Structure formats: structure tokens, C-alpha cells
Structure 1
Amino acid sequence: MSAIDGVDYTPGPLDRDAVTYVAGHRGLVGSAVWRRLGSAGFTRLVGRTSAELDLKDREGVFSFFAETKPRYVVLAAAKVGGILANNTYPVDFLSDNVRIQVNVLDAALKYEVERVLFLGSSCIYPKFAEQPIREDSLLTGHLEPTNDAYAIAKIAGILHVQAVRRQYGLPWISAMPTNLYGPGDNFDPTGSHVMPAMIRRYDQAAAEGAPVVTNWGSGSPRREFLHVDDMAAACLHLLEHYDGPGQVNVGTGTDVTIKELAGIVADAVGYRGSIEWDTSKPDGTPRKLLDVSTLKGSGWSPQINLEDGVRATVDWYRTHRSDRRG
């Protein structure tokens, strides 16, 4: 429990009629959170596009909070990208994300936002953390160098939330999702993550009747994937059932090899050609799996299995070819 003006705080149902701001409501995670809150009966959801409100503009952010006075905030806004983008533009990922977080969290504090959920990424954990990765692995080792700037920004956000809890007693929390996928993902060939990149390549191969699709590496690394609608459901669950200083891992607790993922994607798009592996290319980290004991202990578990989630994502991708990112 936390203390607000000396009163103990116990998590419970949120007020569906309270002003609730979803920062980043057009992105992969934010749009899913928006959908979930809307379906759960929230009547006063507030969102702004980056054109309407630049979260790097401190004065603009404070003016927005003064005007809207949200009671709850989900901070899902961030500058995101794949390995290439993170490795090429580390200054942008560090500077932009720190400014976004500091501005939103400082404004939330000034305007006495009761409940904040800050969303980060599993890349905050050390590159060689023991698997499955527990929450207490944070800051125990070196980060993956290709995305360390982004990771440091997200770690700063976690510590910012913890500092607010210590200094002001507000029941703000943080959640760190595993690899996410689903409607609204980025399918750009140079900036996407493994799942959307694979969907795009295999869908194109199926359409063109390509006899072979060649993937990088051996296909042996293991990765965990969570549908973004499950992530959104976990967000609401945590807001209503969890209060603690530590970040909460959000995932499925299970993983698949990249080779198994390729087979699932190929089946979903209807690709019938051969799948080959270029073992001269790097595999990356052998395994990345989150320990989700804290989340499960709070009473939540995912509902969308990987095969169904991939098929639904393929359907969304094909429906939104003209307006998708990438």
C-alpha cells in the first residue's frame, strides 16, 4: 500500500468516469490500451497525437495537464525502433525518451495524478541476465550495447516512478513487457522487430510464389512473444490489482525458437515454399524469457495463444496495407 496525504492506498476498480490520459494512444501499445479501456467502460479517455502535442515540449505538456486534469495516466508514448535504428541513433533514443518521460511524469506530479502506469521494455535487463529474467535482475550487469541508450532511458523512467513513490507516496507503478506484436505494429523493413518483419517477408513470398525464404542465423535462439491486446489487459489488471515499487514483468512465461516462429508465420500467411537458414549470420542472444511470477501472483495470465495471435496479426496487416507503418 502507498500513502496519499497520509491515507493508505489499496488497489481496486478504477473510476470509469474519471479523465484517463493514454500517452501514445496511436502507437502499438497505446492504441491497444485505448481499446481495452474503452471496452471496459472508461468514458473520458483523452489522447493527443504527436502533431497535436509534442511530449518533448515541456511547456506544452504542462499546459495540457492543466487543461485536462487527468486522474489516471498510462505512459505508453516513446520513440521506438529495431536494432538498426537503436544502434544508429542512440542520442535520439536517449534524449527523446528521457524528455518525454520527465515532462509527463513531472506534469503528472504537479497536477496530482492519482495513478500512473509507466511502460518500458524488457531490454532494460542485463544482456546476460539469468533466464527467466526476474525483476530483481535490473541493474545487475551490462546492457545489450545495440540498444543501451533506449534501455537507460527506460531505466530512468522506472527510477523516476520509484522516486515519486518514496518522496510523495503516490501509488505509481511500472510494467515491462516482453516482445509485443499485433495490430498497429511497425512493418517497415528497416525498422521493424522480428515478428512483423517475418510476417511481411513471408506474406510477400507467398504472394510471389517464392520457392525459398532464407532467414538469418540458425533459428535456434528462443524468444517470448505477447499479443498487444493481452498486454493492454495486463495494464488494466495491474492498475486495479497491483501496487509496489518494483517494475512488473509482463509476458507469457513461455518461449519459442525463431525457427518455430518462422513455421507459425509461414502457416499463417499460407507460404508453402522452403525455409532455409544462413548460419553465417549472427544469432544474437541465445534466449530471452521473462519471469512473470509477480504478474501471475496478482491473478493475471494471457488469453491469446501465439498461433491465433499471429493469424489475427496477418489479417490486420493485409487489411491495412495502404495505411500501415512500412
Structure 2
Amino acid sequence: MRIATFNVQNMRLRRDGRGRVSLDGARDADVPEDTSRGAAALDPLDRRLTARVMHSADADIVALQEVFDQATLDHFHDTYLRPTGALPYPVRHCLPGNDGRGLDLAVMSRLPLSAVTSHAGATPRSLGILAPEGVDPDRRVFRRDCLEVDAGALTLFITHLKAPYPDADAVWPVRRAEALALRALIEQRFDDPAGAPWMILGDLNEPVQETRESRAIAPLLPSFTADLLDRVPADERWSWYEPHARLYGRPDAMLASPALARRFAAACPRIIRAGMGTEAARDPAPRLPGVGHHRPHASDHAAVVIDLPGL
């Protein structure tokens, strides 16, 4: 089984007054280059590159972040991904989450999925966790969602934690509550979490520099999990680039249960940066044809892929 995670950066299907549809490109509203007059003309080029990265990954199951809704997911699959020659993903789910902009979590699979469960309605109180100071115990704990996906013997927990911006210290309690909630879901699902086969996938939005001594996501870190990206050489672990501050980070995560990590001790993630803008110059490898300095690009994130043979 090959598994991938990919933050596709603000993918949203738009309809104009004439019934025409288009996808937003991989761009952010707070980046001046992405809001200029010519920015929209690059949108379809971005999404062709997004599709080519997924074609290159060729994963059996893909966990996606920042997809607007089911219609967006289906349109991208049929209009952009299939024309690359990629094998189809007949199983596709994008469930409504808590993000006010509608940027939800999604999963695409070539394998049967016995269950895809949203936990968007979970609160600290419903999960039985002590909310950090300043966090309402009766407010929905996940700022987006956590999708629990059953794929044969493997369970995936797909998530996208709150970003640590603009004030990482101020949102630390929110991020810690999300981490505690995700851990609680796993502990409630399995009698023996350490011995069960599961993975956490997605964008943990880890800041480049933590503002407190304890990382907000500490409840999810070893020994509760094994960080599979630790198997990648330290100077090659980055999967995201922010152009204005020139920051490289590794928000994209593959955290495995201890038992799963032991079973696949030789499995090492691949980080596919071929769709990132050449401004992310730390990786000098060739990009896909058509990638620009900033845009067109597939996303400001790389895709992360791992093979779990025989699963």
C-alpha cells in the first residue's frame, strides 16, 4: 500500500454567472503576488501541476488538506487528474468541517474504505479531555476536522491543525487542545494504541520555531508515535516554503503507531517537491515543466509519500 499526504493550498471550485466552472489556483490572499491582476490567469496552470504531482506520487490512498468541498474534489479528479493518465480514484470523500472558509479535509482511494468518519463536532468535553486554559470545553475542538479512515487493517487519522499565525503563543492552547483531542480519539478507538496499526497524516502546521518550551503537538510525538519523517536526512525533511519570510518548514506529517513503525522499519517517506516554485531554492532538483519562480506551482507544500509493502 502506498499512502500520500498533500496540502493542495486553497483548492476551491468557482461558478460564474454563465455556468462556467474553474478551480482557484494554489495561492493565498495575504501574498501580494497572488492577488495581482494576472494571478487568476495562472490558476489552471497551478492545478495542472497539482495533478501532475499526484500522478507522480501514484498513491493508493491520498490524504488531502485545503479542499473546499466534494464538488471541488470530484471536478479536480475528473478534469485535471484523470487527463494526466493517472489511475482513477473511485473512492472520494470531502466532508464538511469547521473551517470558516470551507477548506476541508479529503481522502481519495483506489482501495475500498470501510468507513470515513468526521469528528468535526467533537469538543474537549465530549472527548473527556481537560481543555487548556483559555479553550472553551464545549466549543468544537478541531479548527478544521479529523477524518478517521478505515482502509483494511490500517486506520488513518487525517488532520489539519490550526496555523500558528499571526501569534504562535496566542494560539498555542488551541493547537494543544487539537493534539490532545486527536490522541484521545486514537486511545478511545484502540484498547492497545501502541500495538494497533494506525497513522496520523496531514498538516500539523508546526511553527518553524516553537514559542514555548513544550511543543503544542507534544501529545502526538514519540513515544506515543514514531515520526516517520525522522527517517529522512535532517537537512531534507522540509516540505513547505514561505516566500516572504524565506522560511522552510516541515508541517506535513506521517506519524505511525509504534507497532506499525516496527513492522515497516525500512519504510522511508519521499518528499515530492517537483511542483514547488523554484524560489524554494534549497532543493536544486529539476521541477516539473511549467513550474515558475513563485507561480505557476502545484502548492506551497510538497507531497509526502510512503510505501508500506504487503499491507
Query: TM (normalized to structure 1)?
Result: 0.35
Normalized per residue, which structure has more strand?
2
Normalized per residue, which structure has more helix?
1
User: Which is higher, the Rg of structure 1 or of structure 2?
Assistant: 1
Query: TM (normalized to structure 2)?
Result: 0.36
